[in-house]
Structure 1
Amino acid sequence: MAKWVCTFDQGEAADESAPRDLLGGKGAGLAEMARLGLPVPPGFTITTDVCAYFYKNGKQFPPSLAAEVETALGTVGRFTGRCFGDERNPLLVSARSGARESMPGMLDSVLNLGLNDISVEALAERSGDPRFAYDSYRRFIQMYASVVLGIEHHIFEEILEYYKEHKGITLDTELSSEDWRKLIVDFTAKVERTLGRPFPQDPREQLWGAIGAVFESWMNPRAVAYRRLHDIPASFGTAVTIQAMVFGNMGETSATGVAFTRNPSTGAKELYGEFMLNAQGEDVVAGLRTPQNITEAARIAAGAKEPSMEAALPGVFAEFARAAGLLEKHYRDMQDMEFTVERGKLWILQTRSGKRTSKAALRIAVDMANEGSIGKAEAIARVDPSALEQLLHPALDPSAPRQIVATGLPASPGAASGEILFDPGDAERLKSAGRKVILVRIETSPDDILGMHAAEGILTTRGGMT
């Protein structure tokens, strides 16, 4: 009988024989970090075999999957001391995609599953922080409505921006718990007006809706486009990882971030990344706020005023640096990690081999060979000959005179010129007509993938370098 679910927790992974092809990159990374004893929130992975079954059987799940998921939820509940669906002591979970080959931002995820009108009050009471609880619930409504119910994300952003403008404030962090309460009412009312039915309150309905939506995202237009651009077979499918929530939005001792063990642009051996205090993971990757530097050296180099993670959370930073070193040594490659800090406690949410420029790939391969981490033959094999074309990308002559109009964070190497366009679709059309374009956006989203691929360069108002 096929096994559809594999569990993991700090210090152990239930099925050590499960291959990466079944667990996907995220699930395999979490299981391996659990075995290494790193701080990983407990959870389980629904394998890529379920994705294959899902598409072969009219988007239906295997009959025995529900029982396996219930068993796994019980295991996670025992580790956390909470129960999924319990309105007084709720276990909240995330449902995240995880393909065999990394497809950053192309597939869907949903956070804070299990919250409803009643359990949010229990979360407020147990955490002692009503603002955090209501903020988490409004995030869940917004994300679930967008990913599962098909209501566009920007509709909720417009409600939020109008509310802030009406109150005369700029930042989300300036909103009180009562403000979030009112916005929850506005958000759920918008869902009911749009769909003709209330926002779902049953945690299990929420969970299965999210699992189905993640599997369906494997065939969304941006994922199909990304696979075509990177030669990833559609048959690979995605896994879905269900994991106990940890919260980076519980005040100034909480945070979330993304970091690389080496600089993915230059290859330098230095922690490179960004984080945000009092935020959840989507805040960093969505580019809706400008994040802060991980290290103090990076903050100084960037001329940034906001404190680095090294300065703001020195103990957590030291623990994270140790974990980063362990993961790079274990995998013998530069790692790309996601993490959350909940009230001073570090949790590692993901690790994978990091994408890098050709210049960085060359330097990392040489440095790791010199350090003895890999052999010379492996170092040579790690450099893709076709990718060396990147080293020939245009660059500005350092000695040439220039009139600087604006400055920003350099998210990638090289220089570019072209016509300014604001719409990804227009960028595609002009590229096909042989014209060079620069795509200018407030912030990019995964849906912009084809326009981003067509553009010579991309300029955004908001967002960071990761």
Structure 2
Amino acid sequence: MTQWVYGFGGGSADGDASMKNLLGGKGANLAEMSSLGLPVPPGFTVTTEACNHYYAQGQTYPADLTEQVKAGLAKVESIVGKTFGDASNPLLVSVRSGARASMPGMMDTVLNLGLNDETVEGLAALSGDRRFAFDSYRRFITMYSNVVLGLGHDHFEEVLDDHKDRLGVTVDTDLSAKDWEKVVADYKQVVERNLGHAFPQDPHDQLWGAVGAVFTSWMNDRAKFYRRMHDIPESWGTAVNIQSMVFGNMGETSATGVAFTRNPSTGEAKLYGEFLINAQGEDVVAGIRTPQSLTRA
């Protein structure tokens, strides 16, 4: 039986840094760091071979991939003590692309996957922070609708801007828990109005939708253009990394950011990077708030 899924986390991993062709750069390095004992959030990688099978077989998954993903999820659940889709103690995951050659910004990512009308209540109770839970849910609806369902960000930005105008605030962090609950309700209406169906509530359906979207993004126009510019073969495919969520938007003691061991502009061998407090990765990309420098922290 072909192994399509390679786990990592809890101080061990099925792969290592030498397996970039199979696990992609991100997956191979996550496996290596986990084996070294670094505190890597647990997860698993769906291989580049699964991606190539997906395209070779008319965008269908390998027959035994479902069971391997189920086993991968079960292992993550056992490490973190949460259950995917459980209403009171939900495991939430990120789904990210990971080609063997770095292709920054070219392919798709989904965060906070597993949230729905029930699990958001579980997240609120577990965290003791209803505002954080519904902020995470509205982010997920926006990202999933864009990446998987093909509904543009502008539909949701218009709704959010209307709410902020009505409340007389300018930044997202000024919205309360009740405000975010109203935004979530309006976002779900946006999906139904534009697509003719409700936002998906089954976490397993959400997961497979996201995996398919990452595979599909390997062949989107911007990825094709990037590959041509950098001589990256189409046949390489992309891996998919599914990983337990770590939240940068849980308040003033949480953050998101990026770090380099060298300055990428000058090559100077000094720590370089930036971060945003109480945010998730897309906030950095969107440029709505100005990140702080790591060297000033």
Range of TM-score over shorter length: over 0.9
Q: Percent identity?
A: 63
CA distance, structure 2, for counterparts of residue 184 and residue 118 of structure 1: 13
Deviation sequence 1:213-271 (CA, Å, 0-9, x none): 00000000110111111111111110000000010100111011001111111122221
Where does residue 196 of structure 2 map in the other structure?
196
Name structure 1 gaps, 5 residues minimum.
297-309, 311-466
CA distance, structure 1, for counterparts of residue 93 and residue 72 of structure 2: 12
Superposition deviation, residue 283 in structure 1: 1.4
CA contact 1:10–1:38 (8 Å) conserved in 2: no
Where does residue 294 of structure 1 map in the other structure?
294
Letter in 1 for 2:106: M
CA contact 2:15–2:28 (8 Å) conserved in 1: no
Superposition deviation, residue 17 in structure 1: 8.9
Partner SS for 2:276: strand
Where does residue 257 of structure 1 map in the other structure?
257
Deviation sequence 1:188-233 (CA, Å, 0-9, x none): 0000001111000000000000000000000001101111111111
CA distance, structure 2, for counterparts of residue 154 and residue 234 of structure 1: 31
Counting only pairs closer than 5 Å after superposition, residues 95-244 of structure 1 correspond to structure 2 as: 95-244=95-244
CA contact 1:110–1:147 (8 Å) conserved in 2: yes
CA contact 2:251–2:278 (8 Å) conserved in 1: yes
CA distance, structure 2, for counterparts of residue 10 and residue 269 of structure 1: 31
Deviation sequence 1:310-347 (CA, Å, 0-9, x none): 2xxxxxxxxxxxxxxxxxxxxxxxxxxxxxxxxxxxxx
Superposition deviation, residue 16 in structure 1: 4.4
CA contact 1:10–1:33 (8 Å) conserved in 2: no
CA distance, structure 1, for counterparts of residue 57 and residue 153 of structure 2: 30
Letter in 2 for 1:6: Y
CA contact 2:17–2:32 (8 Å) conserved in 1: no
Name which structure has the greater RCO, CA cutoff 8 Å, separation 6+: 2
Deviation sequence 1:125-172 (CA, Å, 0-9, x none): 110000000000000000000000000012211211121112111000
Superposition deviation, residue 284 in structure 1: 1.7
Where does residue 40 of structure 2 map in the other structure?
40
Letter in 1 for 2:37: G
Deviation sequence 1:4-33 (CA, Å, 0-9, x none): 000000421124497210100110110011
CA distance, structure 1, for counterparts of residue 266 and residue 121 of structure 2: 48
Counting only pairs closer than 5 Å after superposition, residues 270-281 of structure 1 correspond to structure 2 as: 270-281=270-281
- Aligned residue pairs, count: 297
Letter in 1 for 2:164: K
Counting only pairs closer than 5 Å after superposition, residues 55-454 of structure 1 correspond to structure 2 as: 55-296=55-296, 310=297
Letter in 1 for 2:160: L
Partner SS for 2:91: coil
Letter in 2 for 1:159: V
Name structure 2 gaps, 5 residues minimum.
none
Deviation sequence 1:41-78 (CA, Å, 0-9, x none): 00000000010000011110000000000001000000
Select between 12-21 and 254-263 the one with higher mean Cα deviation.
Answer: 12-21
Partner SS for 1:295: helix
Where does residue 8 of structure 2 map in the other structure?
8
Question: Given the superposition, is the C-alpha separation of residues 109 and 205 from structure 1 closer, same or farther in structure 2, using an over 3 Å criterion?
Answer: same
CA distance, structure 1, for counterparts of residue 51 and residue 128 of structure 2: 40
CA distance, structure 2, for counterparts of residue 17 and residue 223 of structure 1: 24
Partner SS for 1:111: strand
Letter in 2 for 1:132: F
Where does residue 49 of structure 2 map in the other structure?
49
Q: Which of the pair has more CA radius of gyration?
A: 1
CA distance, structure 2, for counterparts of residue 22 and residue 225 of structure 1: 23
Where does residue 363 of structure 1 map in the other structure?
none
Where does residue 24 of structure 2 map in the other structure?
24
Partner SS for 1:96: strand
CA contact 1:248–1:279 (8 Å) conserved in 2: yes
Letter in 1 for 2:47: T
TM-score by length of 2: 0.98
